[in-house]
Amino acid sequence: MKILLTGASGNLGSEVCRKLIDEGFEVIATDQTMRKDLPVKVKVADLRDRIVCYDLMDGADAIVHLAAHPNDGFPDKQALLNDNTSITMNLIHAACESEIKKFLYASSIQAMVRNRRMADDKTVPQSTLKYLPLDGDYPVDPDNVYGLSKVLCEQMLKFYSSERGFSCTAFRFPFLFNPSYLKYFSRYRLSWKAYLTHHANLEECFSALSVEDAARLIITVLRKDLPGYRCYLPASPVPVAEDSVESLIEKYYKNVPLKKPASELKSFVDISRITADTGWVPRDNVFQMIKEAMNW
């Protein structure tokens, strides 16, 4: 199977690229940034140009679309929204006209949860979550432009799935952990420290996933026949926190309706549908990986 992989030079894209090659896939890798440590040459391209997209997907059987502005930190909000949505539209419509019917997309947990953080005086605002544990069916509720761009792209996938017969999968990835990034990016290290000290976005429910598990999921979905549209929220099997789930509920989620008693919850994310559809289960305990990598 030949895969067009966008965002191949990124945090997740580089891991996916290596694993695709290891698993015997043929890869067309593209990004706006050249990277020489990957097993295939990266084709540098600007996917905002719709004509470029047609040339890149020549001979491809499926598209794994990971290219985008990665968070809401991009200062030009108009460009953030326009770029993320236009790139997705350019790719999926070119795929449609090229008769490529499988499209995998990196969405974000920020499409579905708002921002809630502990205040400087240690007070905690009340949660706005509609239920726990979270899952891929959770209704969209972004509170930033990045999250909004992901919602709009998910809607594109739903449209092309229902109207054009695509097999489309959106992955609402939580924070993706890459141990090698801790060596190079101080901001990345500080972000994980915030998780460990409960100063991150509490509405994300201490969820995370290793880039290796995320890459394995993408490859698993590529190999499955999954008609229609699916939205998955994958996560590591335990929260990124020292406290038990029951203790975290008491501290931060007392007002949130639970789908099962707190004593029965081992995670704030329900991945049962992903496992039922694909057989995938995460292997990495991200909390343990972070503690070991950061000598916590």
Write out the DSSP string of 25-57: -EEEEEESS--SSSSS-EEE--TTSHHHHHHHT
What are the tens digits of pLDDT across the range 73-99? 999 999 999 999 999 999 999 999 999
Mean pLDDT of 165-185: 91
Q: What is the pLDDT of residue 188?
A: 86
Percent of the chain beyond pLDDT 70? 100
Q: What is the pLDDT of residue 22?
A: 98
Q: What is the pLDDT of residue 296?
A: 66
Q: Using a cut of 0.95, tell me whether the model's pTM lies above it.
A: yes
Q: What is the pLDDT of residue 183?
A: 76
Strand order in the sheet with 102-108: 42-44, 26-31, 2-6, 62-65, 102-108, 167-173, 228-232
Q: What is the pLDDT of residue 85?
A: 98
The CA dihedral of 44, 111, 138, 125, to the nearest 10 degrees, is 140
Q: Of the ranges 29-38, 125-134, 173-182, 184-193, which one carries the lowest mean pLDDT score? A: 184-193
Percent of the chain beyond pLDDT 90? 90
| CA atoms of 277 and 215, how far apart (whole Å) | 17
What are the tens digits of pLDDT across the range 213-264? 999 999 999 999 999 999 999 999 899 999 999 999 999 999 999 999 999 9
| CA atoms of 172 and 273, how far apart (whole Å) | 14
Mean pLDDT of 273-284: 98
Q: What is the pLDDT of residue 185?
A: 77
Q: What is the pLDDT of residue 293?
A: 86
| CA atoms of 189 and 66, how far apart (whole Å) | 22
2-293 CATH pick, 3.30.2290.10, 3.40.50.300, 3.40.50.720, 3.30.360.10: 3.40.50.720
What are the tens digits of pLDDT across the range 103-160? 999 999 999 999 999 998 989 999 999 999 999 999 999 999 999 999 999 999 999 9
DSSP letter at 121? T
| CA atoms of 39 and 294, how far apart (whole Å) | 29
